[in-house]
């Protein structure tokens, strides 16, 4: 399990630290957490907090009133064996509770955000930073707001198409290798740190997209909505000509829609990628299917005849 730097964590979520022991090295302090918990069930001794970051919500005040000080302290002491950090909003948390967790020795991370909001932000971050990603050979962009993976064998032209899409103001996530994470049943992709911002185009070489076109064209990560797989032209292969359904590809137990796009001489592949994404959005959000529309027109025409 990957450890998390406390210093970086505090900086990322704009937290204020309190009750940090002078015997500890703040610069190098790390902790384990693969998710979050409110701590309520743990205080009631119904569950354990191992490998969970505790983020107090307003219910902790009710539990304190219900259990009384002595039993409440017993519950917190059991939590302290596995977890030394508590995130809380002081305005939401009873002052007596704050004093108790200080006395026990918890590191307190204070936030100005409501507990529901800070937990919603921290949970996916912990999942992504602590899990082992699946690295796939692909180029990733955000086209019309959709996270798109361009896949296909090496040398087929993914990077060249990506460069043209970037020149059309679509956002660049990464080239050649994409690390894929699963968060709450959805997939997210990002470029490995060492290759981030770089794009390799045969005949031109390696390009730094950020320095060439600016920070605004770079997106560090994105949800994966759609896969377009480039294939060599093959007349014998049975390609979908009607577009009445999508195949899917399973990555980390999540099914992602995928289409096969043959590379043919004279085709503007970047334009086809844009059209494919718009068509996908139309089907997903507007529930409009061109084949159904065409069939309805044919039926209506036959009735008129």
Q: What is the mean pLDDT of residues 196-204?
A: 90
Residue range 72-95, pLDDT digits in tens: 999 999 989 888 999 999 999 999
The answer to whether position 305 is within a domain reads no
Identify the CATH number of the domain in which residue 188 sits. Answer: 3.40.50.300
Helix (H/G/I), strand (E/B), else coil: 18: strand
**Final residue of a structural domain among 103, 130, 157:** 130
Share above pLDDT 90 across residues of the chain, in percent, rounded to a whole number? 61
**Final residue of a structural domain among 130, 158, 177:** 130
In the residue annotation, 135 being an active-site residue is answered as no
Question: Distances in Å between the alpha carbon of 68 and those of 38, 47, 59, 90, 206?
Answer: 18, 19, 14, 20, 64
106 and 186 part of one domain: no
Identify the CATH number of the domain in which residue 109 sits. Answer: 3.40.1390.20
**Given this model, what pLDDT does residue 155 score?**
85
The answer to whether position 279 is within a domain reads yes
112 and 258 part of one domain: no
The answer to whether position 151 is within a domain reads yes
The answer to whether position 236 is within a domain reads yes
Domain holding 31, by residue range, is 4-130
Catalytic position from the list 202, 241, 287, 305? 241
Confidence of residue 130 (pLDDT cuts 50, 70, 90): confident
The answer to whether position 301 is within a domain reads no
Catalytic position from the list 2, 77, 137, 168? 137
**Given this model, what pLDDT does residue 285 score?**
75
Whole-angstrom distance, CA of residue 190 vs CA of residue 105: 37
125 and 153 part of one domain: no
pLDDT at position 146 over 90: yes
148 and 229 part of one domain: yes
**Given this model, what pLDDT does residue 49 score?**
76
Q: What is the mean pLDDT of residues 246-256?
A: 90
**Final residue of a structural domain among 130, 145, 166:** 130
141 and 123 part of one domain: no
**Given this model, what pLDDT does residue 236 score?**
54
Catalytic position from the list 102, 176, 210, 219? 176
**Given this model, what pLDDT does residue 289 score?**
65
In the residue annotation, 241 being an active-site residue is answered as yes
Share above pLDDT 70 across residues of the chain, in percent, rounded to a whole number? 90
Reference 221, options 129, 130, 132; nearest CA is 129
97 and 244 part of one domain: no
123 and 191 part of one domain: no
**Given this model, what pLDDT does residue 245 score?**
63
142 and 283 part of one domain: yes
Please state, rounded to an integer, the average pLDDT across all residues of the chain: 88
Whole-angstrom distance, CA of residue 304 vs CA of residue 251: 48
In the residue annotation, 158 being an active-site residue is answered as yes
The answer to whether position 118 is within a domain reads yes
Q: Which residues of 99-119 are buried (b: 16+ CB within 10 A; e: fewer)?
A: ebbeeeebbbbbbebebeebb
139 and 125 part of one domain: no
Q: How many domains does the chain contain in total?
A: 2
Catalytic position from the list 52, 119, 158, 190? 158
166 and 261 part of one domain: yes
8 and 108 part of one domain: yes
pLDDT at position 266 over 70: no
The answer to whether position 303 is within a domain reads no
**Are 93 and 106 a contacting pair, CB within 8 Å?**
no
104 and 193 part of one domain: no
The answer to whether position 275 is within a domain reads yes
In the residue annotation, 137 being an active-site residue is answered as yes
């Amino acid at each position: 399990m990957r450890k998390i730097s406390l210093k970086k964590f505090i900086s990322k979520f704009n937290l204020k630290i309190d009750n940090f022991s002078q015997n500890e090295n703040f610069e190098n302090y790390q902790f384990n957490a693969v998710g979050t918990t409110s701590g309520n069930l743990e205080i009631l001794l119904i569950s354990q907090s191992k490998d969970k970051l505790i983020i107090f919500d307003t219910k902790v005040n009710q539990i304190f009133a219900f259990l009384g000080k002595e039993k409440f302290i017993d519950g917190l002491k059991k939590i302290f064996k596995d977890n030394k950090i508590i995130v809380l909003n002081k305005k939401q948390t009873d002052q007596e509770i704050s004093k108790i967790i200080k006395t026990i020795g918890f590191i307190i991370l204070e936030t100005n955000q409501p507990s529901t909001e800070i937990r919603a932000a921290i949970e996916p971050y912990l999942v992504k930073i602590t899990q082992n990603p699946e690295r796939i050979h692909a180029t990733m962009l955000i086209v019309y707001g959709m996270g798109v993976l361009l896949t296909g064998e090496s040398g087929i032209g993914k990077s060249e198409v990506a460069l043209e899409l970037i020149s059309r103001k679509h956002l660049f996530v990464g080239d050649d290798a994409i690390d894929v994470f699963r968060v709450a049943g959805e997939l997210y992709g990002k470029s490995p740190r060492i290759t981030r911002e770089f794009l390799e185009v045969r005949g031109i070489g390696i390009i730094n997209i950020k320095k060439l076109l600016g920070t605004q064209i770079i997106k560090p990560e994105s949800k994966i909505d759609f896969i377009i797989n480039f294939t060599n032209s093959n007349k014998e292969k049975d390609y979908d000509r009607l577009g009445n359904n999508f195949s899917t590809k399973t990555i980390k137990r999540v099914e992602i829609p995928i289409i096969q796009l043959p590379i043919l001489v004279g085709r503007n592949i970047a334009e086809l990628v844009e059209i494919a994404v718009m068509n996908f959005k139309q089907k997903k959000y507007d529930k409009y299917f061109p084949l159904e529309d065409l069939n309805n027109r044919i039926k209506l025409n036959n009735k008129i005849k």
